[in-house]
Amino acid sequence: MRTTRIIQPDLGLTPIQQQLDIMQTSAVETLFDDVIIPNVASGVRESLVAMSIDVPMTQAISSLSQKMQSAAGRQLTEVNTKLSMFGRSVTAAIADEAGLEIEILNVAWDPLLAGMAQCQYDVAISAMTITEERKEAMLFSNPYFEAGQLVTVRYNNTDIKSKEDLGGKTVGAQIGTTGSFEVEKIAGATLKTYDDIGLAMQDLMNGQIDAVISDNPLAMGYANANPDKLKTVGAVFTSEYYGIAVCKDKPEILEKINEGLAKVKAEGLIDALILEWLAN
């Protein structure tokens, strides 16, 4: 029985990045050693699961490379790695229950959305909020996680207490996400977009922008990792659900994923994975 391939491009990592990459690769290989089950969609090629993740394996690392040597940079990477591993763990558990053989590809956010719309990939799991607009381009599984948007500011900020105070401020968000859409709705706010949410948080810590809007697991993760630099303010102000995106031409895969997801939820594995990767 062959081993599932985990594709990780060589991006010329620094020594710190290499160590983080080695640690993550080891964890991923442990998760996926047993996910070697016949693919229901095709007897020939595997089901491709695309993931957009903010860790030292994505295109964003070239922009982060100069910042990774700092303690703050390492903390940001640790947060992103936890979020990535949550998604990978969910994928592994569902695939195991659904009887799907998978191959993981690491894809940046914008190419991920375009690739799913063109059915370049079969499945994508990437903290992707289910929206009506996205449902026009791809299928979605039943929700596996509830999230919402939250504001992050510098730890010593006193004039921003919620999103209502963002008028006249420069607010960062990852491009193409619900966070960026929410900034656009705020009268007087100036949106600054980033390819990687970690870059937005870094600019916030450096005083380049006034606030960041992102999914609450991201916001809380960065604030908890950098309590002397960041804090969240106000309440979560949207209600959103993460779903697993599926190529519109592959309803048979969607059916299998929903079956696997139902079993994973019933066994309490989603809650256990949240505690393992996102609680701290």
pLDDT digits (tens, 9 = 90+) for 205-223: 999 999 999 999 889 889 9
pLDDT of residue 35: 24
Give tens-digit pLDDT for 65-107. 344 345 555 656 676 677 778 888 998 999 999 988 888 888 8
Cβ-proximal residues to 263 (8 Å cutoff; 6+ apart), any chain: 97
Cβ atoms within 10 Å, residue 199: 20
198 and 213 Cβ atoms separated by less than 8 Å: no
How far is Cα 109 from Cα 128, in angstroms, rounded to an integer? Answer: 10
Q: Which residues pair with 231 in a beta bridge?
A: 153
Phi (first) and psi of residue 5, to 5 degrees: -85, 135
pLDDT of residue 158: 96
Same CATH topology for 15-145+242-277 and 149-233: the answer is yes
pLDDT of residue 259: 96
> Per-domain residue ranges for the chain?
15-145+242-277, 149-233
- Model-level pTM? 0.65
Tell me which CATH code domain 15-145+242-277 carries: 3.40.190.10
pLDDT of residue 196: 86
pLDDT of residue 1: 33
Which is the CATH superfamily of the domain at 149-233? Periplasmic binding protein-like II (3.40.190.10)
Higher pLDDT, 9 or 117: 117
Q: What type of residue sits at position 132?
A: E
109 and 195 Cβ atoms separated by less than 8 Å: yes
How far is Cα 254 from Cα 268, in angstroms, rounded to an integer? Answer: 21
pLDDT of residue 73: 55
Q: What's the average model confidence in pLDDT over 228-243?
A: 94
